[in-house]
Amino acid sequence: MRVFQSSYRDRKGQTQQTARHYIEFSDHLERPHRLPGLTDRRQTEALGRRVLELVGLKAGGQTLPPDMSKWVESLPARIHRLLGKWGLLDTNKVAALRPLADHLDGAADLPGWRQHLAGKGNTARHVDLSCARVKAIIDGCRFAYWSDLSASRVLAFLDGLRSERPKIDRKTGEPKLDEAGEPIMRPGASPQSFNHYLTAFKGFCRFMVCDGRASESAVAHLNGLNTKTDRRHDRRALSVDEIRWLLTTTGKRPIRHGMSGKARSMLYQTAIETGLRAGELRSLTRASFDLDGSRPTVRVAAGYSKHRREDTLPLRADTAATLLDFLAGKLPDATAFNMPKSRTDSAGMFKADLEDARTAWLADAATEDERRERRQGSFLAYQDAAGRFADFHSLRHATGSLLAASGAHPKVAQSIMRHSTIELTMSRYSHVFAGQEADALAALPDLAAPARQSAVATGTNGAEAVDSVLPVCLALSDGKAGILADAGGQRTADGRSRGNPCKRGENRIGSGPMSSSAGVAELADAPDSKSGPVHPG
């Protein structure tokens, strides 16, 4: 190895030495090379010694040790390219030698993270969304090679996403202006969106390390934000009365987004009774339903299930009979529900049906005063007074809430909802209906009542103990509990005043996870004109 400064003649013909030092060495095939070094001679000599170590590893057919991999990743891109060109580095294994775009989207000679995600069975939408988030960070931080990655720059970019930004007109590319000529601002990303971007980028970096293309991830230590501090789109569960009004009203409406009113009503009822997501419902065909046996079921293919496994869910017998009539005449591979392909269109379709149901409920008021009071409530409102939304995915929240209110065991509810943890089922998807808390407290013993004699109170002398344990509202002899409240918290579904929620047979979800003598099976029945809240919930 020789380290030297090259000589050259300037414009005046005088001999000058280059500021940069050069390294002359022979590679593992005894081919001579000249590598541009640094302006400092000692640093260039240290670089040359490292290059000789690399030559020795290549000659011996050895892989790069961790310390050598870190050193290679820290080199400037110009040196990466030369070492790769001379065959001293494997361009498919060293991330620093290829642009990040090649590792993300792949190249002709190198599969990328996109191909890795697709190979694991993820949906095309998930793959595209994840890669788009990673690309946004790469472009926003101006990362070109692996050595450019910086955790602080990633955090700075993600923090910038949370700032307000002007809305941009897609046609002109200019900011949208209000009547006063001021830019219309859009709120920044929520903590949940922040976490989605960070999770995707950490997944990409983890792939680079696991695939042997990089030694370590620069962002492995970063943590997401607490999503509970800034919730942007919390959902609520529709009450039984709201569901009945929605299904009945929708069934009478005309075609919307290519679906008849009857089809949309059947779609919503199926979504509530199974807890299936919009994408899973969209994938169902006639062959997905087994409606002829004693235990009807619906099957979701693994390619459309969120956890990438085939799911088979039970159906109520009466719902199966309705579906059998609804799907009559369809071929096995025909789509069961002709849902809009766009998520935006599906959301708009449900929102419009919800508005129609609320309009019909307001018009059903007996007097103008009652109608005025109903307008102040959140019954069938897209957004309630607490800022929670009732969108298409809220139907899945209704499933979890109705299961919890029916007295179903939490593990059974988790199985039907197909959640990885019971905490997700109980904390996010199980909502307390209006009035349930008050009914539970009303069932507690009257602590203000006079105390009995100690012998009776303690159960001695053969007397029975009184109030030895606090009664639990959902602990019924048949394992079922009542749903007595509507969204306004004023009366039960049949219009009666509330009583003890543990009384047998009053407006309960009955046998099975979603069956009832007055439950979801009757959601398609005509709604009681007197049901619904009178005061805002």
My answer on whether 305 and 382 are in the same domain is: yes
- With respect to residue 158, please indicate whether it lies within any of the assigned structural domains: yes
Is the pTM higher than 0.85? no
Examine the domain organization and report whether 355 and 302 are in the same domain. Answer: yes
The reply to whether 27 falls in a domain is yes
List, for residues 110-152, the tens digit of each pLDDT value.
899 999 999 987 888 889 999 999 999 999 999 988 888 999 9
pLDDT band per the 50, 70, 90 thresholds, residue 91: low
129 token code pair? 């969304």
Q: Calculate mean pLDDT across residues 170-181.
A: 80
Across 441-468, average pLDDT: 58
Assess whether 63 and 189 both reside in one domain.
Answer: no
**Strand runs (DSSP E) across 258-396, as ranges?**
289-290, 297-300, 311-314
Range of the domain at 319: 233-446+469-537
Q: Are residues 499 and 402 in the same domain?
A: yes
Q: Mean pLDDT highest for which of 320-324, 414-418, 483-487?
A: 320-324
Q: What confidence tier does 513 reach under pLDDT thresholds 50, 70, 90?
A: very low
Of 193, 214, 229, which marks where a domain is finished? 229
**Residue 259's domain is classified under what CATH number?**
1.10.443.10
Say yes or no: 221 and 271 in one domain.
no
pLDDT at position 484 over 60: no
pLDDT at res. 199: 95
Query: According to the model, what pLDDT value does residue 452 have?
Result: 64
Same domain, 212 and 112: yes
**pLDDT in the model for residue 151:** 94
Residues of the chain above pLDDT 90, percent: 45
Does 229 score more than 70 pLDDT? no
Give the C-alpha separation, 287 to 201, whole Å.
39
Tell me: do 30 and 65 sit in the same domain.
yes
Do residues 355 and 504 share a domain?
yes
Residue 14: count of CB within 10 angstroms of its CB: 8
Tell whether 440 is covered by a domain.
yes
Residue 463 lies in a domain: no
The pLDDT confidence band at residue 467, using thresholds 50, 70 and 90, is very low
Average pLDDT (354-359) is: 96
Rounded alpha-carbon distances, angstroms, from residue 427 to 101, 107, 409, 430, 504: 40, 44, 15, 6, 27
pLDDT of 85: 85
In a domain, 454, yes or no: no
Confidence class for position 183, pLDDT limits 50, 70, 90 = confident
Return left, alpha or beta for 258; rule: phi > 0 is left, psi -120 to 50 is alpha, else beta: left
Across the strands, what pairs with 482?
A: 508
Q: Is residue 453 part of a domain?
A: no
Query: Which pLDDT score, from 0 to 100, does residue 453 have?
Result: 56
- Whether 205 and 320 map to the same domain: the answer is no
- The mean pLDDT value for 515-520 works out to 41
Q: What pLDDT does 94 receive?
A: 65
Lowest average pLDDT, out of 220-229, 277-286, 440-449, 478-487, goes to 478-487
| Single residue among 229, 255, 273 that ends a domain in this structure | 229
**pLDDT tens digit string along 436-451?**
777 777 877 877 777 6
* Residues in Cβ contact with 435 at an 8 Å cutoff, skipping those fewer than 6 apart: 484, 485, 486, 489, 498
Q: Of 44, 72, 96, which marks where a domain is finished?
A: 96
Per-residue pLDDT, averaged over 509-514, amounts to 40
Give the pLDDT confidence score for residue 348 in this predicted structure.
Answer: 93
> Is it the case that residue 460 has pLDDT exceeding 90?
no
What residues have CB less than 8 Å from 78, skipping those under 6 apart? 36
**Contacts of residue 453, Cβ cutoff 8 Å, sequence gap at least 6:** none
Split into its structural domains, the chain has a count of 3
Q: Are residues 130 and 268 in the same domain?
A: no
pLDDT digits (tens, 9 = 90+) for 65-86: 878 877 887 788 788 788 888 9
What is the residue type of 276?
L
Where residue 419 falls among pLDDT bands split at 50, 70, 90?
Answer: confident
Higher-confidence position of 266 and 509:
266
Shared domain for 410 and 424, answered yes or no, is: yes
Q: Do the domain assignments include residue 299? A: yes
Q: Is residue 495 part of a domain?
A: yes
Average pLDDT, rounded, for the chain: 81
Same domain for 518 and 371, yes or no, is yes
